[in-house]
């Protein structure tokens, strides 16, 4: 089905775009609204820094906009086919957009970073030890 090393795998499985192993978001469940956009600074598996440059994920707003427009059009077509009035269609579109907000937020970030970062198996092999040391160092500092 989905093969490791592909962008679809990273996007749909919430994985690091560089190694396809570490988690991209801290919590896998997008319905935990307080943690919906919480991300670690680095991938726990390969050490890749997610925030490539300051304000990098501002560009994800454009991806979110495109996803939201597509979702709105799809909802409109479905509700229009059910022969509903325009006010009912409008309310339906708003309801769908509100319900899907946590999913579109996460999806837009994953799609955006996957545009710029590709899978690299060697990157993980070169930096795996560094990432493990970095994670151990952070946990020892937080214990102090």
Give residue-wise pLDDT tens across range 26-84: 988 888 888 888 999 888 888 888 888 888 999 999 999 999 999 999 999 999 999 99
Beta strand segments in 1-58, E: none
Q: Report the alpha-carbon distance of residue 115 to residue 8 in Å, rounded.
A: 11
What pLDDT score was predicted for residue 141? 64
CA distance readout (Å), 135 to 46, 52, 131, 140, 142: 10, 19, 6, 9, 11
**pTM score of the predicted model:** 0.78
Q: Report the alpha-carbon distance of residue 45 to residue 127 in Å, rounded.
A: 9
Domain ranges within the chain, ordered by starting residue: 1-52+117-144, 56-116
């Amino acid at each position: 089905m989905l093969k490791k090393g592909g962008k679809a795998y990273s996007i749909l499985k919430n994985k690091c775009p560089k190694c396809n192993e570490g988690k991209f978001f801290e919590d896998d469940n997008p319905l935990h609204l307080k943690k919906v956009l919480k991300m670690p600074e680095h991938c726990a598996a390969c050490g890749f820094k997610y925030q490539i440059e300051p304000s990098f994920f501002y560009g994800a707003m454009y991806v979110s906009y495109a996803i939201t427009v597509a979702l709105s059009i799809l909802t409109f077509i479905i509700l229009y086919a059910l022969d509903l009035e325009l006010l009912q269609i409008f309310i339906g579109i708003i309801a769908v957009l509100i319900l899907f907000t946590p999913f579109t937020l996460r999806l837009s970030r994953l799609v955006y970073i996957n545009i710029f970062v590709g899978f690299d198996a060697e990157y993980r092999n070169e930096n795996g030890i560094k990432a493990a040391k970095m994670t151990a160092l952070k946990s020892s500092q937080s214990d102090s």
